[in-house]
A and B are shown apart, each in its own frame.
Chain A
């Protein structure tokens, strides 16, 4: 067991508490009070942040004093491993696509390749067919048919596909 139901409920409530605090701090950049014409720009986010904080505090107390289900596992180690294996390639996809600015097509092919070869145990021909086929499908559907340009990187520029 990685985390119990009670543990996860507490963690989530604390994260929500942090979110609420961030909103309140962000709202404080502007006036959060009233002038003669009503509330100032910061007023609404400020109080919404407080609503989140109040709700999260309530959920936290509920989680701490919950009588049932406390010992049950929310996420087992095995489940955490599977979630990690699902999220890790996705993170890699985002790093390639967004952080390294290689574009959606390159990221997509790399992602599908990794997932199918490494996690799906598919052979190379099937993997190549699915990943290049998907990219080609998206290219035809968006660039040609729907006239929506997907994010492109240096490779597409080099191939003269802009």
Chain B
């Protein structure tokens, strides 16, 4: 078992005083970002990346990852107390969490949420620990055609399994790839899609796009409704937490099922949001108390929370081993890795052992740190939301613009933030998925290089992608997934005569 020795080495890296301090700072900043509307996990990571340029990559990734865990916890807090999901992935938590809080069971709901979230997260980390080496070994067999096939499969998953309209998913992914192509072409050196604008020569940074799409876009959507935070007061007492810990094992089926759903959706690029909805739907369908869902049923809090966090953590596995991020936040982190000069993918496990295992070990530690911190700081962060929105919102706007400036000190980027903000708002209003766009912007260059190198290797023949069983089966699976909405609609039409029970839709 090489894993154990590697993991122990990782703990040596993660358990230094400096890294523990980074975890605490990251988690606290993450909770803040998760609590505030308009600043979510992808955006928080994005804002921190320019500040990590001078840091050691291990320290930088520990800070970013801890921020992510904190943001996931912060998002659940506002869902339960204010009925306002701080993160898209905690929408499903509002269904039962807020009713519980209104019945005076806020502490119970928060404890259930945090503890099952921690269970899901640790489940995800264990899965990563076990699968990391085999996955990297498997990916060692990859060359350009296989990489392109995996990238293609990732996007086919969005189309086939994403839940949004396949057309809208295509628009989102295509826009991302096009934006990634702007600027200097890595192979021929030609300046593409610049339309004569010198500002476009350096390309469009995915960091700027994320700040606009998730930050300003989210704020416009929030502004649209007259937002009032009418929250439920909460103070978490140790006795209530202990009582919840005692009650939690009774929900073991829901916990394990939700964690498995989360891992699956995290490793395939379904992402935490889809995972939490799917897990909530499954719990409602199979629970013996399904009639109480939506009225304050603890299982309705446990299921989405465990899935959300296990998806969040396990999304790191494909990012590290294959260089394919499983969620928008993981995509931004992968962009960070590339900025720090690392190459995500199987070689990372050989060349950067301390980095990979330090990160994995830090995920165990940081999630425990996060649960403890969030339990004790809930009243503090809930108080932040009592500051009037008329002050909070403009301050968030300023944080977004300053963050965009720090990416590459370009005034043009500030205009881009506003443009992406409007795009993000329209996408949200019309149910276009944003994650494919972000993913495409991050891996666009790599995907195009993989495609062109495969073509060079195989004399320009598309047969390159069916030249061996591995690549061929990946490509065939991807094409099946791409056509899945079409196949499914034909199938549905045929069985429409019998009153079929429709699955729970997101």
Q: Please tell me if the beta carbons of B174 and A51 are within 8 angstroms of each other in the complex.
A: yes
Chain B residues 221 to 246 lying within 8 A of chain A, measured CB to CB, are 223-226
Q: Please tell me if the beta carbons of B452 and A151 are within 8 angstroms of each other in the complex.
A: no
Chain B residues 147 to 166 lying within 8 A of chain A, measured CB to CB, are 165-166
Is A128 among interface residues, defined by CB-CB distance under 8 A? no
Interface centre among B174, B216, B448 (most CB of A within 10 A): B174
Is B504 among interface residues, defined by CB-CB distance under 8 A? no
Chain B residues whose CB sits within 8 angstroms of the CB of A45 once the complex forms: 177-178, 181, 192-193
Q: Please tell me if the beta carbons of B451 and A58 are within 8 angstroms of each other in the complex.
A: no
Chain B residues whose CB sits within 8 angstroms of the CB of A134 once the complex forms: 395, 398
Chain A residues whose CB sits within 8 angstroms of the CB of B411 once the complex forms: 97-98, 101, 151
Residue from B174, B395, B414 in contact with A55 in the complex, judged by beta carbons closer than 8 Å = B174
**A104–B50 CA distance with the chains assembled, in angstroms:** 17
Quick one: given A37-B460, A62-B167, are A52 and B175 in contact (CB under 8 Å)? yes
Q: Which residue of B lies closest to A135 (CB)?
A: B398
**A148–B404 CA distance with the chains assembled, in angstroms:** 12
Q: Please tell me if the beta carbons of A26 and B195 are within 8 angstroms of each other in the complex.
A: yes
Chain B residues whose CB sits within 8 angstroms of the CB of A112 once the complex forms: 394-395, 398
Q: Which of B281-289, B352-360, B426-434 contacts A (4 or more CB under 8 A)?
A: B426-434
Q: Please tell me if the beta carbons of B418 and A52 are within 8 angstroms of each other in the complex.
A: no
Quick one: given A16-B171, A38-B456, A52-B170, are A98 and B181 in contact (CB under 8 Å)? no
Q: Please tell me if the beta carbons of B414 and A97 are within 8 angstroms of each other in the complex.
A: yes
**A15–B223 CA distance with the chains assembled, in angstroms:** 23
Interface string of B373-394 (1 = CB under 8 A from A): 0000000000000001011011
Q: Please tell me if the beta carbons of A115 and B192 are within 8 angstroms of each other in the complex.
A: no
Q: Report the contact-size class of chain A (Cβ under 8 Å from the partner).
A: 35 or more
Chain B residues whose CB sits within 8 angstroms of the CB of A37 once the complex forms: 455-456, 460
Chain A residues whose CB sits within 8 angstroms of the CB of B165 once the complex forms: 58-59, 62
Expressed in whole angstroms, the minimum distance between the Cβ of A87 and any Cβ of chain B is 7
Is A91 among interface residues, defined by CB-CB distance under 8 A? yes
Is A27 among interface residues, defined by CB-CB distance under 8 A? yes
Is B185 among interface residues, defined by CB-CB distance under 8 A? yes
**A42–B426 CA distance with the chains assembled, in angstroms:** 29
Q: Report the contact-size class of chain B (Cβ under 8 Å from the partner).
A: 35 or more
Is A120 among interface residues, defined by CB-CB distance under 8 A? yes
Chain A residues 1 to 27 lying within 8 A of chain B, measured CB to CB, are 8-9, 12, 15-16, 19-20, 22-23, 26-27
Expressed in whole angstroms, the minimum distance between the Cβ of B170 and any Cβ of chain A is 3
Expressed in whole angstroms, the minimum distance between the Cβ of A29 and any Cβ of chain B is 8
Expressed in whole angstroms, the minimum distance between the Cβ of B451 and any Cβ of chain A is 7
Q: Please tell me if the beta carbons of A48 and B190 are within 8 angstroms of each other in the complex.
A: no
- Known contacts A30-B192, A82-B226; can you find 10 more A-B pairs with CB under 8 A? A22-B195, A23-B193, A27-B193, A34-B460, A44-B177, A52-B174, A55-B170, A98-B411, A108-B398, A111-B397
B-to-A contact residues, CB < 8 Å: 50-51, 165-175, 177-178, 181, 185, 187-188, 190, 192-195, 216, 219-220, 223-226, 388, 390-391, 393-395, 397-398, 401-402, 405-406, 409, 411-412, 414-415, 418, 426-427, 429-430, 432, 448, 451-452, 455-456, 459-460
A-to-B contact residues, CB < 8 Å: 8-9, 12, 15-16, 19-20, 22-23, 26-27, 29-30, 34-42, 44-45, 48-49, 51-52, 54-59, 62, 74-75, 79, 82-83, 86-87, 89-91, 93-94, 97-98, 101, 104, 108, 111-112, 115-116, 119-120, 122, 130, 134, 138, 142, 146, 148-151
